[in-house]
């Protein structure tokens, strides 16, 4: 399995770290988790938002890696962009939790550029 494939797993797990942080407030209501999470404030609320955005960012990333791998795109590029995506997305969530909106937006943009880059590498170097 390539490093990029492992990055798909890593990216799939990222939201759960942020979910755990959001739920660390105690007295989590598992019967009504969405209502409970909607009432959070401060950094825990931002951790929940980071969790939701991480789930939203996962499908395009996974698709981009799978397309690039299927087309035998340059493996070094694919691995590099996949690792960069994972690192940037973790940084994105941490910037979100720390209430650093400009940094958060820059990291989001860079991670999205990795997704676009995977498709471009697949188009230019793939079969």
Report yes or no: 97 and 43 within 8 Å, Cβ to Cβ: yes
pLDDT band at 49 (very low <50, low <70, confident <90, very high): very high
Location of structure tokens 């942080």: 21
For 3-125, CATH gives 1.20.120.550
Report yes or no: 85 and 61 within 8 Å, Cβ to Cβ: yes
Please write the tens of the pLDDT for every residue from 3-38: 999 999 999 999 999 999 998 877 878 888 888 888
Q: Please check the confidence at residue 42 and state whether its pLDDT lies above 80.
A: yes
* Stated pTM of the model: 0.94
**What are the domain boundaries of the chain?**
3-125
Q: How many CB atoms lie within 10 A of CB 69?
A: 20
* Rg for the chain, CA atoms, rounded: 16
């Amino acid at each position: 399995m390539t490093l990029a494939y492992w990055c798909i797993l890593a990216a799939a797990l990222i939201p759960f770290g942020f979910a755990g942080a959001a739920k660390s407030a105690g007295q989590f209501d598992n019967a009504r988790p969405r209502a409970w999470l909607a009432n959070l404030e401060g950094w825990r609320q931002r951790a929940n938002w980071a969790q939701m955005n991480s789930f939203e960012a996962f499908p395009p990333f996974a698709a981009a890696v799978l397309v690039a791998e299927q087309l035998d795109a340059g493996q070094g590029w694919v691995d590099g962009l996949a690792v960069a995506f994972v690192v940037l997305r973790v940084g994105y969530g941490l910037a979100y939790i720390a209430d650093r909106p400009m940094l958060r937006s820059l990291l989001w943009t860079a991670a999205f550029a990795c997704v676009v880059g995977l498709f471009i590498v697949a188009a230019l170097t793939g079969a």
